[in-house]
Amino acid sequence: MDQWLNACVAGERAYTIIKGTRFQKKKSKKAAKIIIIILIIVIISTSIYDPFYRHLMDEVNDNERRIWCTITYSSNLKTFHSAIHGFHFIAPFVINLVSSIVLITRKSHQQSNLQNDRTYYQLLRQQLHEHKNLLIAPIVLVILALPRLIISYVSKCMKSSNNSWICLIGYFISFIPSMLIFFIYVLPSTFYKQEFHKTIARYRNKIQRSRRVFHLSI
């Protein structure tokens, strides 16, 4: 879900540049709500079959009893599962990358119409430098998510607890992209970093004012 939301944000950025002054914030907010609902429905509908093929299995090993959750798919369902998993992995990355390219090229084209003293390719290089984080971020996220995808394709049903670490690694790796959003999108961007510092300073001033008012009231 988080990868799809990142793709939607990237798509909206590109759409904002394309529309320019014709961009309507109210329509954008309404469209965002509809898209989120559609995303939830699509993600649930493409994975709703999964709980029906999960089974609990008792294991007794070295006088220890464990309960494992196993999944049994038919060959056709396994192919469908792999295709859906790949789609949810690749599609957000493609949308994110294409949206970033559209944003950079469109913005360069708009500035070339206003700045006659500079060529389009000079402005394009400038925009690539300013917005390099928009291109780097989706690539880094897909690299971090790649081990999870590989593990989901190559891992088989566990025969004992000895190879359970494979599933644990895949489980913990899946959280890495979500944990690094701030470091990938905010810190490399000059604009986002400035806005972050402004927001922190604003909240710090509010807290200091509240503390002064509290001490004066005492």
Alpha helices (H) along 53-119? 75-114
Which pLDDT belongs to residue 172? 75
Which pLDDT belongs to residue 186? 75
Which pLDDT belongs to residue 155? 57
Which pLDDT belongs to residue 38? 92
Query: Where do the domains of the chain lie?
Result: 2-185, 188-218
Which pLDDT belongs to residue 200? 92
Q: Largest Cα–Cα distance of the chain, in whole Å?
A: 80
Cα–Cα distance, 42 to 80 (Å, whole number): 15
DSSP reduced 3-state for 150: helix
Which pLDDT belongs to residue 166? 65
Burial of 14 (0-12, 13-18, 19+ CB in 10 A): buried
User: Are the beta carbons of 179 and 154 closer than 8 angstroms?
Assistant: no
C-alpha pair distances (Å), 214 with each of 49, 200, 204: 56, 21, 15
Torsion angles phi and psi, residue 56, rounded to 5:
-90, 135
- Residue in the block written with tokens 């709500």: 33
Q: Which residues in the chain show pLDDT less than 50?
A: 159-160
Nearest CA to 61 out of 157, 158, 161, 164 is that of 161
Cα–Cα distance, 93 to 140 (Å, whole number): 10
Which pLDDT belongs to residue 51? 79
Which pLDDT belongs to residue 41? 93
Which pLDDT belongs to residue 31? 87
Cα–Cα distance, 169 to 148 (Å, whole number): 8
pLDDT tens digit string along 127-145?
A: 888 788 788 888 887 887 7
pTM of the model: 0.70
In sign, the C-alpha dihedral spanning 95, 97, 100, 101 is negative
